[in-house]
Amino acid sequence: MTSRVLIKDLSAQDDGPVSVSGWVDTVRDQKKVQFVVLRDESGAVQLVNPRTTDADGVVVADEPATTISALSQGSFITVTGDLKHDERVKLGGIEIKLASVEVKSHAIAETPIAADSSLDKRMDWRFLDLRNPKQNLIFRIQTTFEHALRTYWVERDFIEIHTPKLMASASESRAELFEVDYFDTKAYLAQSPQFFKQMAQSAGLGKVFEIAPAFRADPSFTSRHATEFTSIDAEISWIDSHEDVMKLHEELLVAGFSAVKAKHGDEITALFDVEITVPTTPFPRIPLAEAKEIVKQRGYEVPRDDDDMDPEGERQIAAYVKETYDHEFVFLTDYASSIRPFYHMRHEGEPGLTKSYDLIFNGTEISTGAQREHRVDVLIEQATEKGLEPEELGFYLDFFRYGAPTHGGFGMGLARVLMLMLHQASIREVTYLFRGPTRLLP
């Protein structure tokens, strides 16, 4: 028996017997010859079966012809046959002349989604949607990107942690919290690993990372929000300021983008018409106040009462950065403490400003980072000022009562990075199974 060959590896093989496995993309069941386009996780190939005729020229109902005639789209089959290189074959210049067809599983003859189906409908049938080569590529890119990040971390002695997602209290705002029945009490789903990656600093782990789910009971339906998302987190000790965090952050993105471009660049161009640019370092850094001035000079007044940016402002500053520095990324730095969590460190002598940043990629925020306040007295003061009860934060404040190094880090949404990297309109396109206020299925 010949063992299975991935379709992408066929063209490098010599002509001769092969076995391939995959699902039926299309069948052209013609009178004199049958064609099947077979697809697997690596590509597509044409299978061909010339019909047998009897002495009178009448087509014979033999095998594999009968099986092929009965094939529905989506059925999973294993075939054997003779590989032939033939330049005239449009699909990769090869075809397989069939010897046998074994059906592993018949698909029902129904195609719930088509190329022009709505995103929502495609999500209903995500497992069929994912058979699309573009979708398949997205998750191979995801794999490469994450592995490059983790390799960067591991080579630099970062420790991988798995922080608990079940918590006794909120990790961020109390507003967007999922409550869980937990035996005789209540638990809450972690909105971020924030408290626990900071705990690693007091624990003396030095540099830590985690890629894991985070949960927000966010009722919004935008293209960039989900109730469950994959968060990329890192936290490091002994920093001097948020500049050290930004330096880590940009190096990490360079590692990720370099790996994606090297491994998938051509395919991305072919399928998404996108040229991956490995960003140059340092990324541009613009203090938020200055960014708002720049945006204003471009004719856009951010319609907010607080000191924050808004999505249109982020697009405007990104356009400015693209024009001025030809860069897809920009760190907006030094956000007002009024719009930042209590645990962001503030500038010495300028308590209205935090040592924090947002990272904007192609016009959309993908991450927030900061130096954290590690002095417990200052931390309590800032928490109280934000209306939090130090008692409720007791377990967290303990992390700092027993000593803590200076530290900082960031959290970054994986789906946002992929969405913007591939110029997609929604994180739903790059999320394996999206979760939103009205979506828990499949």
Q: Which of residues 173-212 bind its own copies (CB under 8 A)?
A: 178-183, 185, 187, 189, 196, 199-200, 202-207, 212
Q: Which of 122, 165, 216, 224 binds its own copies (CB under 8 A)?
A: 165
Tell me how many residues contact its own copies (CB under 8 A). Answer: 103
From residue 87 to residue 116, the character string flagging contacts with its own copies as x (rule: CB under 8 A) and all else as - is: -----------------xxxxx-x-x----
> Which residue, 6 or 33, has its beta carbon nearer to its own copies?
6
User: Judged by CB, which is closer to its own copies: 181, or 273?
Assistant: 181
Candidates 70, 159, 254, 271: give the one binding its own copies (CB under 8 A).
159
Site for its own copies in 359-388 (CB under 8 A): 374-376
Give min distance, CB of 381 to its own copies, in A. 15
Using the rule CB under 8 A, is 426 a contact of its own copies? no
Q: Which is nearer to its own copies, 329 or 434 (CB)?
A: 434
Contacts of its own copies in 229-268 (CB under 8 A): 230, 237-238
| DSSP labels, 159-211 | EE----SEESS-SS-STT--EEEETTEEEEE-S-SHHHHHHHHHTT--EEEEE
Residue whose C-alpha is closest to residue 321's, from 288, 289, 286: 286
Report the alpha-carbon distance of residue 338 to residue 290 in Å, rounded: 17
Strand partners, 17: 82
In the complex, least distance from residue 250 CB atom to its own copies, rounded to whole angstroms: 19
Closest separation in Å from C-beta 23 to its own copies? 6
Residue 331: C-alpha distances to residues 231, 328, 402 (Å): 19, 11, 33
User: Are the CB atoms for 192 and 172 separated by under 8 Å?
Assistant: yes
139 binds its own copies (CB under 8 A): yes
Q: How far apart are CA 277 and CA 373, in angstroms?
A: 35
State which of positions 25-54 bind its own copies (CB under 8 A). Answer: 39-42
Q: Which residues contact 354 (CB under 8 A, 6 or more apart)?
A: 334, 335, 336, 337, 340, 344, 345, 346, 347, 370
Cβ closest to its own copies, residue 195 vs residue 357? 195
Nearest approach, Cβ of residue 4 and its own copies (Å) = 6
Cα–Cα distance measured from residue 24 to residue 243, given in angstroms and rounded to the nearest whole number: 53
User: Of these, 17, 50, 93, 164, which contacts its own copies (CB under 8 A)?
Assistant: 164
Does 395 help bind its own copies (rule: CB under 8 A)?
yes
Residue 120, number of CB atoms within 10 A of its CB: 11
What is the rounded distance in angstroms from the CA atom of residue 7 to the CA atom of residue 125?
25
Window 288 to 347, contacts with its own copies (CB under 8 A): none
Nearest to 167, CA basis, from 401, 400, 393, 398:
393
